[in-house]
Amino acid sequence: MRVLAAMSGGVDSAVAAARAAEAGHEVTGIHLALSRNPQSYRTGARGCCTIEDSNDARRAADVIGIPFYVWDLSDRFHEDVVEDFLAEYADGRTPNPCLRCNEKIKFAAVLERGLALGFDAVVTGHYAQLRTGADGLIEMHRAVDGAKDQSYVLGVLTQDQLAHSLFPLGDTTKPEIRAEAERRGLQVAAKPDSHDICFISDGDTGGWLDEKLTERGHVVNRGGDIVESGSGEVLGSHAGSWRFTIGQRKGLRIGTPAADGKPRYVLDIEPVTGTVTVGTRAELAVTGLECVKPLWCGTEPTAPLECTVQLRAHGEEHRAVVLPGEHGFSVTLLDPASGIAPGQACVVYDGTRVVGSGTIAGTAR
């Protein structure tokens, strides 16, 4: 097959490209330029979109012996990922930009262009496994390396996208990948993993949101009250509700301790008035979810499904019953979860298989 290897500049994508070439595919490496202003690219190994990363990807392609190109997708990334991130926070939700990037950029924009150019598939360094099910559909399963499994952030992929994807690393652990990169002579063998949000150069998400939300006119009410759940007592004030997330304990700056002497946690964020509600840890427990924007990896379920759900990247699984509806699905959590916020993704699993996902619109306590 003719395949595009999305090369971020890290060790995983480099080994994935090398394995695809070794398997006999005709591989072309591409690096995605996602910043409108190259001067805003950060230095070091904090993200996955730096100038250094582009150079590392090019060197890896040279070692593998494959053609290499840089694709400028900065406008689409800005619209589909950055602006979405801003709008979600302005509305009091907590988005996952990496999941959105997979959905809108790596397996939509890249795949669309690749298919138009005559390529058959996109290969990435994600840790997940693909199998053909008994019904002939492509199934996505968790990776062998549970600590590196990335099926959660791939839970937005459709059957058509899975049919044009390759994940060569799903059956391998991260230490084995680094050892293989060393054997192949790839200079990125010991490169640290990327982390943080790639488009926030200093890692200060709250400060970045302060600047961008005000600059873009997203924010009408910058400040608000911090109130006690139940009593409604005003405990303090803040300068921006987007600096808080559901389940947050530190940095509340509300002075006096609770009557029981135990810490308070953020329970709710109301973006219009700016009100942040805090309460006890017990009040964080969530037993039900309402999810919208469903995306199914295969056949859409039509009856209640006994399954597990994962509610954050690298988070634990919760036993659940999923009930499909007209515009989404509801979830009854048999194992209550804490710190769950609207905007996060709920990814549904049947054993190790990813069934699909939805965006959390509401929770029940």
CB proximity list for 282: less than 8 A, separation 6 or greater: none
Catalytic residue among 48, 49, 98, 101: 101
CA distance 146 to 150: 9
Other Cβ atoms within 10 Å of 221 Cβ, number: 13
CB proximity list for 230: less than 8 A, separation 6 or greater: 279
Q: How many CA atoms lie within 13 A of 358 on its CB side?
A: 22
Q: How many residues does the chain have?
A: 365
Catalytic residue among 48, 49, 98, 198: 198
Which among 349, 355, 353 has a CA at the least distance from the CA of 295? Answer: 355
End-to-end CA distance of the chain, in Å? 50
307 an active-site residue?
Answer: no
**26-33/2-6 β-pairing:** parallel
CA distance 175 to 189: 10
**121-123/2-6 β-pairing:** parallel
Per DSSP, what are the bridge partners of residue 268? 277
CA distance 245 to 89: 10
Give the helix/strand (H/E) hosting 116: helix 110-116
98 an active-site residue?
Answer: no
Write out the catalytic residue numbers: 101, 198
